[in-house]
A and B are shown apart, each in its own frame.
Chain A
Amino acid sequence: MNELKRIMHVEDDPSIQQVAKIALEAVGGFSVHTCGSGKQALTDYPSVTPQLILLDVMMPGMDGPTTLQQLQTQYDLTKVPVVFMTAKVQSNEVASYKALGAADVVAKPFDPMTLSNQIRQIWLDFHQ
């Protein structure tokens, strides 16, 4: 198993994009490629080849679940865990995201100081 380095973060809100990028890069030491929409994620995926995708659920245009389905259709994600980031974390909602193929769910608001460890743990769990 390779070490987790490249993360693609799909999020429409620029403030959260910025906070997450710093939290993951400065605290976790990852390399983060930020996409402002699901459509951009589909376009950028081949060039970025992320090891893990962090995906917002509620986005204008193409939402998180649709983006995931499109990515799954177009690319092989069997070794790329997709993690949803959302405020909607009722047990049924979490179960529905996992049923779509998500590896896990990170609740918003997230703690920027522990986010990297959380992501790293998900990466490890996914590859075990």
Chain B
Amino acid sequence: MINQRVSRTTNFISWLGSILLLILFSYLAWRGYRLNPTDDVLQRWVLAFLASELLLLILLSEVKRLIRHLLQEVKQSESLKQQLAAQQTQKYQQALSTLNNIAASFNPDWRKQLRQALQVAADYLQLPIAVLSKIEQQDYQILVHSAPAGLLQDDSHFELGNTYCSLALAEGGIFATNQMSAGPYASHPAFKAFALESYIGSAVQVEGKPFGTVGFSSASSRELAFSQLECEFVSLLARWIGSTIERRRYLDAQIEAAGRLQKIASQLPGMVFQFQLAPDGSSCLPYCSEGIRDIYQLTPEQVKLDASPMLSLIHPDDAQLMYDSIIASAQQLSLWKLDYRIQRPDGDVIWVSGRSVPERQADGSVLWYGFISDISERKKIERLKDEFVSTVSHELRTPLTAISGAIGLLHGEVFGPLPQQAAQMTQLAQANVKKLQLLINDLLDMDKLIAGKMLFDIQPQPLLPIIETSLHDNQSYAQQYQVSYQLESTSADMWVNVDNMRLQQVMANLLSNAAKFSPPLAVVNIIVQQQGNNALIRVIDSGCGINEQFKPHIFSKFSQADSSDIKSKGGTGLGLAISKQLMSRMQGEIGFQSEQDKGSEFYLLLPLASTAELPEVDL
């Protein structure tokens, strides 16, 4: 194409030059002929024209040749540049491909993975020895290497100063030499020790801290110095190795943690699990400890993808309860907690207790983390305890009934009048039988309250009659301690939702306490009044009061201000604890205020029954 253009251009110049020469010589010949009109003049000018034309053609031919030569050289130069660029691109592509192969490789054994990476990189750099080292202070350790057999050994240790890596570290990251003997480090101890002429190495950092180096070397020198590309290649490789070691450390830590968890979980008495409920209703246990073998007689693998084998073992009587509890927990994302039975494949029925915390997942499923433990033994003990309490209750009360009855008959003088001292003794015996009876009742009540087995018959009813009955029934206390109860009511027609007997039980406790702790001849005031939407019952004594240290424990079980009170005042220390529980079950409150040596006021607060709850009254 360029040659054609050159030819056209020169041809055009040739024609144009010829025409111009022809015009010039024609003009000169015409002028010469006018001055000297002879044939000779014309012939000379024609000859001159032809000679000029010949010279012009020769000149143009030479110019044409020169231009073609120049163009040829330009073309060759461009071709060379293109070849060089292609070679450079190929090298880049080779470097990238090598790095890509290294990054894509994976081997569960991290040493093998790094060794493969060193081999691939060494092939690319055309250097036979590759070493990844770990450096701690002045200790240099070959962590992984790739070299001709027998030359190096993993885990060999050297003095850091005697290695090429010290140069890489000193050079601030990367060090490369194609002929060690000709450079400034010819006398370095590393060259003396290993005599490696060519070397390229880079520092490796792990978690932002110096870890070691990666280096490639050969005993032979290289003709060409290491290129910028090769330096960058080694630098990138060092970064990849650093991140690989970081990842491996992280994975190792995870594997160790998982192993640790596995070992701990295997020692737990129950099973630790993850339970996942998908939006379509399917469920599985992504993780489950080996404890499932003891609880359900299943393996973790059997429920990993489908929880049905486990759910099908739930006792039919508890299946609905289990379903409802799971749904409620999933909907409210609330703690799942349930005691239920499992009918195991071997036919045994066991009691288990489950507890887990739910979390909503991005896919809409709910994942619980929790544990299940075998509580069969506990249930058995509870049953035995219930039986024991029931038996003891009966066995204690039967003789107590007989003793109480016999003393009652004697004291009632059914068999004739008693001598004065005998009458005092029967009264004493009767009072103590009553205490024993209350003590047994307190213990049994507490047991029932703790087990949630105390049943309440809560009905809307007028409050004042209950209080009046309580006062009447507890007159014996007032007489025993020589005090009097005085009732004051400012609201006579208040109705409350209570269990009559249980409220009387609470009142009996407050009245007997007030009597016990009041001085002789004192008055215990009982005030019934309305406070907002509540009925307030106050029992006020002028006794010794409650000391500050005891106040926080007053409603605790078996609490008494002074153990000597047990002897002086009697009681189990359960009365107020039971009262608090009873009031709580009737949606009420119990509280107190007291000043030492001045007296105490215990109060009960009960919500008033709403008008809708009251029975219709004919007017």
A111 to B408, CA, bound (A): 7
- Indicate which residue in A90, A109, A112 contacts B409 across the interface (CB closer than 8 Å): A112
A105 to chain B minimum Cβ distance, whole angstroms, is 12
Chain B binder among A22-30, A44-52, A118-126: A22-30
**Residue A75 CB within 8 A of the other chain:** no
Q: Is A92 an interface residue (CB 8 A)?
A: yes
Q: Is the CB of B397 within 8 A of A19?
A: no
Within 8 A of A (CB), among B389-406: 393-394, 397-402, 404-406
Report A79-104 CB contacts with B as 1/0, cut-off 8 Å: 00000000100111001000000000
Instruction: Known contacts A20-B405, A27-B414; decide if A109 and B437 are in contact (CB<8 Å).
Output: yes
The answer to whether B401 and A108 have CB atoms under 8 Å apart is yes
Q: Are B455 and A58 in contact (CB under 8 A)?
A: no
* Complex alpha-carbon distance, A23 and B401, angstroms: 12
Q: Within the assembled complex, what's the spacing in Å between the Cα atoms of A113 and B409?
A: 7
Given contacts A19-B405, A58-B394, contact A113 B499 (CB under 8 A): no
A110/B501 in contact, CB under 8 A? no
A22 CA to B400 CA in the complex, in Å? 17
Decide if B405 touches A16 in the complex (CB within 8 Å). Answer: yes
Cα–Cα distance between A112 and B399 once the two chains are bound (Å):
14
Check: B412 CB closer than 8 A to any chain A CB: yes
* B400:A26 contact, CB within 8 angstroms: no
Q: Is the CB of B408 within 8 A of A90?
A: no
Q: How far is the CB of A70 from chain B (nearest CB, A)?
A: 22
* CB atoms of A109 and B412 under 8 A apart: no
Residue in B399, B414, B455 whose beta carbon sits within 8 Å of that of A26 in the complex: B414
Which B residues lie within 8 Å of A91 (CB)?
Answer: 455-457, 499, 501
A109-B400 in contact (CB<8A): yes
In the complex, whether B454 has a CB less than 8 A from a CB of chain A is yes
Q: Are A92 and B402 in contact (CB under 8 A)?
A: no
Q: Which residues of B contact A (CB under 8 A)?
A: 393-394, 397-402, 404-406, 408-409, 411-412, 414-415, 433, 437, 448, 454-457, 499, 501
Task: Tell me whether B457 and A87 are in contact (CB under 8 A).
Answer: no
B577 CB → nearest A CB, Å: 19
29 contacts between A and B (CB under 8 A): A13-B401, A15-B398, A15-B399, A15-B402, A16-B402, A18-B402, A19-B401, A19-B405, A19-B406, A20-B405, A23-B408, A23-B409, A23-B414, A26-B409, A27-B414, A87-B393, A90-B448, A90-B455, A95-B457, A108-B401, A109-B405, A109-B433, A110-B404, A110-B405, A112-B404, A112-B408, A112-B409, A113-B412, A113-B414
How many Å from the CB of A13 to the closest CB on chain B?
A: 5
Interface residues of A, CB < 8 Å — how many?
22
Tell me which residues across on chain B come within 8 A of A23, comparing CB atoms: 405, 408-409, 414
Query: Measured between alpha carbons, how far is A95 from B455 in the docked complex, in Å?
Result: 11
Complex-state Cα separation, A13 to B402, whole angstroms: 9
Picked from A15, A109, A112, the residue with its CB within 8 Å of the CB of B397 is A109
Instruction: Give the complex CA separation of A20 and B456 in angstroms.
Output: 30
Q: Check A87–B394 contact: CB distance below 8 A.
A: yes
Residue in chain B with minimal CB distance to A95: B457
Contact A22 B454 (CB under 8 A): no
Residues of A contacting B501 in the complex (Cβ-Cβ under 8 angstroms): 91
Please judge, given known A-B contacts A87-B393, A90-B454, whether A112 and B405 are in contact too, CB under 8 Å.
yes
Q: Contact at B409–A19, with CB atoms within 8 Å?
A: yes
With both beta carbons as reference points, the residue of chain A lying nearest to B398 in the complex is identified as A13
Nearest to A56 among chain B residues (CB) is B398
Chain A neighbourhood of B397, CB < 8 A = 87, 108-109
Residue on A nearest B400 in the bound complex, by CB: A109
What's the nearest-Cβ distance from chain B to residue A15, in Å? 3
Contact: A16 with B401, CB < 8 Å?
yes
Q: How far is the CA of A108 from the CA of B433 in the complex (A)?
A: 13
Which of B393, B401, B406, B412 has the most chain A CB within a 10 Å cutoff?
B401
Contact of A92 among B393, B409, B414, B455 (CB under 8 A): B455
Give the distance in Å from the alpha carbon of A18 to the alpha carbon of B405 in the complex.
Answer: 9
Mask: chain A, 1-43; 1 = CB below 8 Å from B; 0 = not: 0000000000001011011101100110000000000000000
Partner of A27, one of B394, B412, B448: B412
Q: B450 → chain A, closest Cβ, in Å?
A: 15
Q: Which residues of B contact A95 (CB under 8 A)?
A: 457
Closest Cβ–Cβ distance, residue A19 to chain B (whole Å): 3
11 other A-B residue contacts (CB within 8 Å) besides A19-B401, A23-B408: A13-B401, A15-B398, A15-B399, A23-B405, A26-B409, A92-B457, A109-B437, A110-B401, A112-B404, A112-B405, A112-B408
Complex contacts, A112 vs chain B, CB 8 Å: 404-406, 408-409, 412, 414
Whether the Cβ atoms of B454 and A109 lie closer than 8 Å is no
In contact, A22 and B414 (Cβ under 8 angstroms): yes
When chains A and B are docked, how far (Å) is the Cα of A113 from the Cα of B406?
A: 10
**Are B456 and A109 in contact, CB atoms less than 8 angstroms apart?**
no
Cα–Cα distance between A48 and B401 once the two chains are bound (Å): 26
A17 to chain B, nearest CB (A): 9
Contacts of B457 in A (CB 8 A): 91-92, 95
> What's the least CB distance linking A127 to chain B, in Å?
26
B455 A16 Cβ-Cβ under 8 A: no
Which one of B412, B448, B499 has the greatest number of beta carbons of chain A within 10 Å?
B412
In the complex, what distance in Å separates the CA atom of A108 from the CA atom of B412?
Answer: 18
Chain B residues with CB under 8 A of A16: 398, 401-402, 405
Residue from B397, B411, B433 having most chain A Cβ neighbours under 10 A = B397
Residue of A nearest to B414 (CB): A26
Q: Is the CB of B394 within 8 A of A109?
A: no
Inside 8 A of B414's CB, which chain A residues have their CB?
Answer: 22-23, 26-27, 112-113
